[in-house]
Amino acid sequence: MIYNSSEAEKKAAYHVAELMMAAARTAPKGCGVDNLVAVMIDGEEKAQLADQMRKIAEETGADFFARDGGNVDASPVIVILGVKNIPLGLDNCGYCGFENCAATVKAGASCAFNVTDLGIAVGSAVSVAANHRFDNRVMFSAGKAAMALKFLPENVRVAYGIPLSASGKSIFFDRAAATCSE
């Protein structure tokens, strides 16, 4: 039997996405509390995500959302990592800028430990992609669109998307459509 490379590369992308989700799950968490949410998206939901990103670009004028949506279109699969906003209840923390967790909740702010845990999980996930030589890009734009589409639970207030690509030239490099500062 002969397998063409595009079929094998797509299959490998799914496997790497699964490994990324496992790496994110096992990344260290503050106080050992796991508030991570991880999903893998392809097919119709991935098309909805890219469309939502373009919609956000139109509504806000932030053209990089549309550019990133094109990258999502060109990727076989995207991993979305988010964190539930559940303060850890630490006395004398204040890293969120508030006196205590009760004040954080009252203000509707995000727990700094939750957001830090998400960052560590994202780093673990993208290291897996890199170790398997898959091009990837961390996109807050994809995370924001996934939350708007309710692909994640309601108490997830921070999320990032990580599309994967295996091509002769990275689709995430030399992206000329827009910059984040526009």
Question: How many domains is the chain partitioned into structurally?
Answer: 1
* Helix-then-strand count for the chain, H and E: 6, 4
Alpha helices in 34-170 (DSSP H): 43-60, 64-73, 101-107, 112-131, 140-148
Residue 86 forms part of a structural domain? yes
Residue 148 forms part of a structural domain? yes
Residue 139 forms part of a structural domain? yes
User: Whole domain around residue 39: which residue ranges?
Assistant: 35-165
* 3 state SS of 75: coil
Q: Per-residue pLDDT tens for 26-48? A: 999 999 999 999 999 999 999 99
Q: Which residue has the higher pLDDT, 64 or 168?
A: 64
Q: Which residue has the higher pLDDT, 92 or 46?
A: 46
Q: With bands split at pLDDT 50, 70 and 90, how would you rate the model's confidence at 176?
A: low
Residue 59 forms part of a structural domain? yes
| Global confidence as pTM | 0.92
Residue 97 forms part of a structural domain? yes
Q: Which residues pair with 159 in a beta bridge?
A: 82
Residue 180 carries which side chain, given as an amino acid letter? C
Contact 19, 40 (CB under 8 A): no
Residue range 16-32: mean pLDDT, rounded: 97
Predicted confidence at residue 179, as pLDDT, reads 55
Residue 107 forms part of a structural domain? yes
pLDDT at 177 over 70: no
Tell me the C-alpha distance between 126 and 122, whole Å. 6
Mean pLDDT of the chain: 93
Residue 133 forms part of a structural domain? yes
pLDDT at 157 over 70: yes
Residue 60 sits in a domain whose CATH number is 3.40.109.10
pLDDT at 178 over 60: no
Find the farthest-apart pair of alpha carbons in the chain and give their distance in angstroms, rounded.
65
Predicted confidence at residue 86, as pLDDT, reads 94
Q: Which residues pair with 41 in a beta bridge?
A: 78
Residue 74 forms part of a structural domain? yes
